[in-house]
A and B are shown apart, each in its own frame.
Chain A
């Protein structure tokens, strides 16, 4: 019985503040406030799911405010991270890079179990997350898209992607959605030539570009529609900038009430327009605490989630004029470059891919 209802509240707040802003000749200008310098804080983030491993937990410190763009990750050295469940299972995670730790490849969460993490710093300070129940998640019943024209010549429309699923009869189910878009990547490396123009190196093996957006999640609770089919859950909007089908992989996760509160607060923050009807910014409470000093502020959230995913091709062949912008051709290199798995790129064919 979580009481946040995004469908109503968010709409009300954002629409009205947006309106006030837009109507009244407003302006938004960059501003650099004077900020106090505060001590670095520990940040714990990551999750365990019932999907294939490895699962990652990262343990970092907050960077100085001015330094965030450099992403100069600060992290405690030689920390130990343990994953435990309510059956007595315990696994120590292996450090990778930049304060990130991973489970074994075959570690897989089990819906119905409760998980928590323990972090022990080099100096012996011990942090624990509150236990998180991995609730089962229903499957995605369907995905569909609807075309909506836009008043722009470059992108004369968009396809709103919707999801439908069936909420189980129990109350207090919380859903979190995210998506990834895949497209084939013909060139694995592009360099600018000294005399102008660009040189593109074809990929030696099949390669896909992954477009994803960590801030584009959506979430809801079943408070207003318990036990019913959740219809027309808006997932994202796909631009009408090409007639080619658009591949999208949608991930649906069941999350705990605590995680829902956490991500709701993050959502509020992302959607804050500074308007009069926005909520005052608030501290986002995480679920990790210092065992010997619970007053220490620890940021971030450890989630346990059951996850299902489903792919969908958005058919973008609609009868609306599309003017393609002229494209500056590349010079093609004679050698190829290998496609490696990295952030935003994969050489593994996504499920259901049609060439």
Chain B
């Protein structure tokens, strides 16, 4: 709280000066009068609106407070204000001196012709300094074919270049060679530690509550930090000033959303919920033992917003809960005790305050709280227990943004605290035999100062210079073990035990994180962009399963576990064709990752009190080429992209037990060199029918095959030698959908639409994995062979009904 007050009380100009020192001061290009104003929708500022001056072929985008400003030569121009899903405003403006022009935008429910993918200026692709950034609006997402009819924010990211997954039905994405825990997933600034419902089949974000989604694969802005690979920024919709109710009914989940003003033009509320009682999905199964499986989830997102003059205060709260329960006696193989259930829950809240000092200067501050809990329970006496773990995140962040002439500057501070409780085993009855001392909790603090300035140095050259300095330390109470220098880190070689008291600093890390980008304009239609960024990550998920589990353990950096540092260089050529109707880009990137983690073969991570004895850290390198062609306007829109990439890991040690693959480079689990996505959206007429198709291809991910086998008695054992030296078969899939969204009659409040979709149209049995099954059941008859596991091995149709009134 102290920091927030400090920033608020002291003159903001001081902060301003501070970040001026960060931003490189250079001369701008010749200046004309400035056109500025505020863009709003029912008194609510609208960020991201494109302002475009047609004759000049230049434009800008409104900032987070709906403000825009642009320097232009004197004259009269047709000026266009546009935002996906809203009616475009086109006005003729005469500007000879600084001019103020405010715009009120209106939502356009049946807007189809102007369906654009990017809610940005038409030449944004070429003109902006953004690289490796994709923004999708919910309107785009809602028309894409969805698995079981559920629009899924995270799964849709897989259609963007440079984004892959280890397999369908799993949560998490891999962005430009990063592990899935290297993505910072933010919902209105609140970090989400587990983005999955139903063990990874769906992501936890209610699509109705999202406004837009940006994925930064490269060129991560300086205000973001703490993860080494990407930022997925999901913004929650602001409540509208009109009362409305909307919802959707689908096979898996039902959605409801309600928004209402509480005090007219001052206070308003939006609440969206999504819930599923998917038990019935299990009822249709032949296996009676699984028929009683319970798999329920819900999530609820609410945002309360208060507006007065130059202040906007909002409170966003979010809860996501999953219960996954197997009936007793569910799996008949002897070693799997029955009656186990899993529960996981995210509770997050943020309180934010945005204050506008002037139309071009604003301060945004937020308090953030995020807690993730997971529980594994067993109800089988005497092995009945709850195994509880959680992670708590608290932060305070404040940033000031300022716009003048050729500059767009921003600076701020962030302070975050993490508390990880890796697990406590709680007996459920007096009969319980199990006991385990609680695993040692971990505490860490991360501080950051950041600033950036986007400046037009020349008419043909724009620079975005950003710098972030982050500093991290972990604190007691804690016990740190010392190991014999040079020996394997193992319990056998512990030489000393160091006790740290509460708040005592144990280990610290930190450093600069430069974020630099240049745009070299090669004329009106094309540009070259160059970028470099460094990111540091102090918290990672510890798992050696292919896909992540909701119950995976999190690990803070400490004496032994070093933070992950990634450096990315990228160069891209961007070109638009036919009056910005088509956008094309080619980007190449190269990334070096320090302290990437892998694990000792077969190690168990969940319950170890000494994670440093199983975690190995080494080097990673990733490089790739991303090509994308997009069509943004017209009846047929969509994109085609192709990515070539490689991600390799090297874990070397003088100790053979602490090496992977004998200290040679090996591909990461998620290394899929070729991937191709085609997304098409066709609206033949104004009747409100949209057809959409996705095609996706990716080469198979690495796996480890056994090259020989041997006998232990009569038992056959496979010998797996080098990690990830083979690949599973390629993956490809086609999805189709049709949306029937009839035009809303002007006098009717009620509006309904249908989405029909087909997932995996040609029912390809895509390989999820190739595995070796050793059959040790009959002593004398032994067989062992490789098998292919497919998960969604058939066509999956679905239907969803959406309504709004």
Contact = CB atoms under 8 A, between A and B. Distances in A.
Interface string B373-388: 0001010111101010
Nearest to A3: B608
A45 B711 contact: yes
B76 to A, nearest CB: 61
A313 interface: no
A257 to B, nearest CB: 9
A13 interface: yes
B711 A274 contact: no
Contacts of A148: 329
Interface string A60-95: 101111001101000000000000000000000000
Contact of A225 (B434, B656, B710, B765): B434
A123 B711 CA distance: 24
Contacts of A68: 709, 716, 782, 784
Given A11-B337, A212-B779, A237-B334, A276 B170 contact: yes
Interface stretch (A109-117, A137-145, A294-302): A294-302
Contact of B425 (A4, A24, A224): A224
Nearest to B792: A24
Contact of A14 (B336, B602, B713, B776): B336
Contact of A215 (B705, B770, B776): B776
A243 interface: no
A6 interface: yes
Interface string B771-790: 11111111110111111111
Contacts of A281: 704, 706, 718, 720, 771-772
B285 interface: yes
Contacts of B610: 3
B602 A214 contact: no
Nearest to B610: A3
A26 B719 contact: no
Contacts of B288: 151
B770 A7 contact: no
B337 A7 contact: yes
Interface string A1-40: 1011111111111111011111111111111111111101
Contact of B167 (A7, A19, A229, A276): A276
B10 interface: no
A267 B385 CA distance: 23
B607 to A, nearest CB: 5
A283 interface: yes
A224 B436 CA distance: 5
A62 B710 contact: yes
Contact of B793 (A27, A223, A234, A301): A27
B8 interface: no
Contacts of B78: none
Contact of A33 (B383, B770, B777): B770
A120 interface: no
A269 B290 contact: no
A160 interface: yes
Given A36-B707, A65-B707, A237 B775 contact: no
Interface residues of B, number: 108
A213 interface: yes
A347 interface: no
Contact of A30 (B382, B425, B726, B785): B785
A72 B434 CA distance: 45
B772 A272 contact: yes
Nearest to B330: A15
A51 B255 CA distance: 66
A225 B432 CA distance: 10
B786 A30 contact: yes
A215 B775 contact: yes
B30 interface: no
Nearest to A158: B332
Contacts of A333: none
Contacts of B330: 15
| Most A C-beta atoms less than 10 A away, residue of B433, B604, B787 | B604
Nearest to A261: B602
Interface string A250-283: 0000000000010011111111111111111111
Nearest to A7: B383
Interface string A189-232: 00000000000000000000001111110100001110011111
A322 interface: no
A27 B718 contact: no
Contact of B780 (A43, A229, A265, A344): A344
B704 A22 contact: no
A332 interface: no
B435 A224 contact: yes
A283 B710 CA distance: 13
Given A15-B326, A31-B786, A276-B170, A215 B774 contact: yes
A282 B720 contact: yes
Interface in B320-352: 326, 329-337, 340, 342
B791 interface: yes
A26 B790 contact: yes
A212 B779 CA distance: 6
A274 B787 contact: yes
A87 to B, nearest CB: 24
Contacts of B337: 7, 11, 234
Interface string B514-547: 0000000000000000000000000000001111
B779 A277 contact: no
Contacts of B716: 68
Report which residue of B435, B549, B785, B789 has the largest number of chain A beta carbons within 10 angstroms of its beta carbon.
B789
Contact of A15 (B331, B380, B387): B331
A185 to B, nearest CB: 15
Contact of A275 (B706, B721, B789): B789
A284 interface: yes
B416 interface: no
A218 B491 contact: no
Contacts of B768: 26, 274, 276
A235 to B, nearest CB: 8
A337 interface: no
A314 to B, nearest CB: 14
A276 B770 CA distance: 11
B773 A272 contact: yes
A214 B712 contact: yes
Q: A8, A29, A43, A229 — which one has the most chain B CB atoms within 10 A of its CB?
A: A8
Contacts of A10: 335-336
Nearest to B661: A283
Contacts of A7: 337, 378, 383, 434
Interface string B726-767: 100000000000000000000000000000000000000101
B316 interface: no
B324 to A, nearest CB: 8
Contact of A19 (B326, B425, B765): B326
A215 B777 contact: yes
Contact of B791 (A21, A37, A277, A283): A21
A150 B332 contact: yes
A228 B340 contact: no
A247 B724 CA distance: 45
Which of A68, A267, A285 has the most C-beta atoms of chain B within 10 angstroms of its own C-beta? A68
A281 B709 CA distance: 14
Contacts of A60: 710-711
B200 interface: yes
A78 B782 CA distance: 28
Contact of B382 (A41, A232, A261, A264): A232
Given A30-B786, A232-B383, 7 more contacts: A23-B285, A25-B793, A29-B788, A45-B713, A214-B715, A271-B333, A276-B769
Q: Which 9 A-B pairs have the closest CB atoms?
A: A215-B776, A274-B771, A282-B601, A214-B715, A276-B547, A31-B788, A282-B602, A62-B708, A274-B789
20 contacts: A1-B491, A11-B336, A12-B551, A16-B342, A20-B200, A23-B293, A25-B792, A43-B711, A45-B712, A60-B710, A68-B716, A214-B713, A214-B714, A224-B433, A264-B602, A272-B772, A274-B771, A275-B789, A276-B791, A282-B704
